[in-house]
């Protein structure tokens, strides 16, 4: 009993033994908390750095360049800058080729103008025109003769068809060469700026060379289909439009008005002569030499008795218009040539704009497939 009483005070003594243990526990807990806070701070500080500095393996020029985020961003800016004025570059490159081809295509047409005017103001041509003016079908007949003696004899339609085919092929070659040059420039500029390839095990892989090749393939298909779709109709359409423009000049219209006044003065006598069918025979086969000579002679004989004076007046009046008609015809040919050149340039620019759009679209697809974060994509996120 005494032993029990003596042990009780020792077990219930004041907390002189518990206080030091509690302090040690509190200090340990505080240290653990501080260590956890420090570790969290370190991981939090390092993690954004890892996110802000990914690596990229960009395949260009047949080689995979390992670029850090900053260099990859510069690569993207250069690519966007190089393609921004691609259309102007292509047009400038094609112009030295287009100019001589246009000259060669239109040279026979220009050379045919004096011969056409020789026929127009010749004895045969004047009598035939006079007969058609009396018959009342001068405009359509003259347009047909102009097409026959200028458009068909010069071969302008087939020349324009050939030019269109050659232009498409040349444009495709120029586009491919430009992209190859761009790829070589990018490779040469960034090959020395890449980081150690061993550190790119987990980098984003972007096959930009494959993007270039696919963009060119799509462009070639578009050019091929556009050329095949038009076929040989381009020259025919241009020939018809050119015929109407050449026939509709002010000088030609004035000459027809003068001819109409002569025909009106011939009046009844001409009507009797036309009734004999001589003029109809001359017009029925305008391209046949025999029919043309026979018909012209018949008209000349039937009208000569009363039209000699009028014909002299007609020749004097029409001679006034030849210089203006020649200038007008040659000027119209020049305008059509310039317009065609502008149309080809516009076609080249439009095709190249489409090529750049394809390049951007394919690059976005390649980056999306590689799961490149939006903020690091060269052309940004693809929008739908």
Question: What are 310's two structure tokens?
Answer: 């009028």
CA-to-CA distance for 207 and 370, rounded, in angstroms? 9
Question: Is 259 in contact with 138 (CB distance < 8 Å)?
Answer: yes
Calculate the alpha carbon distances from 337 to 120, 235, 334, 348 in Å: 24, 13, 5, 17
Question: Is 94 in contact with 172 (CB distance < 8 Å)?
Answer: no
Question: Is 299 in contact with 127 (CB distance < 8 Å)?
Answer: yes
Which residue in 112, 83, 315 sits closest to 212, CA to CA? 83
130 Cβ contact partners less than 8 Å away, ≥ 6 residues apart:
259, 262, 263, 266, 299, 303, 307, 311, 314
The domain spans of the chain are 63-373
Which residue in 259, 264, 270, 260 sits closest to 316, CA to CA? 259
Model pLDDT, residue 115: 93
* HSE-up of residue 61 (Cα within 13 Å, Cβ side): 12
The beta strand positions in the chain, using DSSP E, are 55-60, 63-68, 204-207
Question: Is 294 in contact with 277 (CB distance < 8 Å)?
Answer: no
Calculate the alpha carbon distances from 3 to 7, 9, 12, 13, 238 in Å: 6, 11, 15, 16, 130
CA-to-CA distance for 71 and 305, rounded, in angstroms? 94
Q: Other CB atoms closer than 10 Å to residue 350's CB: what's the count?
A: 11
What does the buried/exposed string (b/e) look like for 75-92 if buried means 16 or more CB atoms within 10 Å of the residue's CB? bbebbeebbeebbebbbe
Model pLDDT, residue 231: 46
SS3 79: helix
Question: Is 163 in contact with 102 (CB distance < 8 Å)?
Answer: yes
Calculate the alpha carbon distances from 139 to 105, 250, 320 in Å: 27, 13, 20
Model pLDDT, residue 97: 93
Question: Is 269 in contact with 306 (CB distance < 8 Å)?
Answer: yes
Per-residue pLDDT of the chain (384 residues; tens, 9 = 90+): 444 444 444 444 454 455 556 566 555 666 655 666 665 555 444 444 444 568 888 888 888 888 888 898 899 889 888 888 888 888 898 999 999 999 999 999 999 999 999 888 887 887 788 778 777 777 888 888 889 999 999 998 889 888 988 998 999 999 999 999 999 999 999 988 888 765 555 678 889 899 999 999 998 888 888 766 554 445 555 677 788 888 777 666 766 666 666 666 555 455 445 444 444 444 444 444 334 344 444 444 455 544 566 667 667 767 788 888 899 999 989 998 998 898 889 889 999 999 999 999 999 999 888 888 888 888 765 544
Sign of the torsion angle spanned by Cα atoms 289, 145, 250, 101: negative
Summary mean pLDDT of the chain: 75
Indicate the pTM of the whole model. Answer: 0.69
Model pLDDT, residue 39: 55
Sign of the torsion angle spanned by Cα atoms 235, 236, 239, 241: negative
| Vertex 304: Cα angle to 299 and 305 (nearest 5) | 130
Q: What is the DSSP letter of 167?
A: H
Calculate the alpha carbon distances from 71 to 53, 57, 153 in Å: 10, 11, 62
| Vertex 14: Cα angle to 12 and 18 (nearest 5) | 95
Model pLDDT, residue 251: 62
* 173: alpha, beta or left? (left if phi > 0; alpha if psi -120 to 50): alpha
């Amino acid at each position: 009993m005494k032993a029990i009483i003596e042990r009780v005070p020792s077990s219930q003594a004041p907390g002189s033994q518990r206080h030091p243990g509690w302090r040690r526990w509190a200090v340990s807990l505080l240290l653990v908390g501080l260590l956890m806070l420090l570790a969290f701070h370190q991981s939090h500080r390092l993690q954004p750095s890892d996110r802000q500095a990914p690596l990229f393996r960009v395949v260009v020029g047949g080689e995979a360049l390992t670029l850090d985020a900053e260099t990859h961003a510069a690569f993207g800016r250069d690519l966007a800058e190089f393609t921004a004025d691609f259309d102007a570059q292509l047009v400038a490159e094609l112009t030295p080729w287009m100019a001589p081809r246009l000259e060669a295509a239109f040279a026979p047409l220009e050379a045919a103008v004096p011969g056409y005017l020789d026929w127009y103001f010749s004895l045969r041509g004047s009598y035939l025109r006079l007969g058609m003016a009396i018959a009342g079908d001068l405009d359509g007949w003259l347009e047909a003769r102009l097409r026959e003696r200028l458009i068909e004899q010069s071969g302008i339609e087939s020349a324009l068809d050939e030019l269109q085919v050659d232009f498409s092929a040349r444009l495709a070659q120029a586009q491919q060469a430009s992209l190859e040059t761009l790829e070589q420039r990018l490779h040469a500029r960034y090959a020395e700026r890449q980081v150690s390839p061993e550190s790119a095990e987990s980098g984003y892989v972007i096959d930009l060379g494959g993007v270039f090749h696919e963009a060119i393939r799509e462009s070639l298909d578009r050019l091929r289909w556009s050329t095949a779709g038009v076929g040989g109709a381009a020259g025919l359409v241009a020939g018809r439009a050119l015929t109407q423009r050449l026939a509709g000049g002010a000088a030609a219209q004035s000459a027809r008005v003068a001819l109409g006044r002569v025909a009106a003065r011939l009046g009844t006598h001409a009507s009797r002569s036309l009734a004999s069918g001589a003029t109809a025979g001359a017009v029925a086969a305008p391209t046949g030499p025999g029919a043309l000579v026979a018909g012209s002679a018949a008209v000349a004989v039937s009208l000569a008795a009363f039209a000699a004076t009028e014909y002299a007046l007609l020749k004097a009046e029409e001679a006034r218009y030849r210089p203006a008609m020649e200038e007008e015809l040659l000027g119209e040919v020049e305008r059509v040539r310039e317009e065609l050149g502008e149309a080809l340039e516009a076609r080249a620019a439009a095709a190249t704009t489409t090529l750049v759009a394809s390049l951007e679209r394919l690059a976005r697809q390649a980056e999306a497939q590689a799961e490149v974060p939006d903020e690091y994509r060269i052309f940004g996120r693809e929008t739908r």
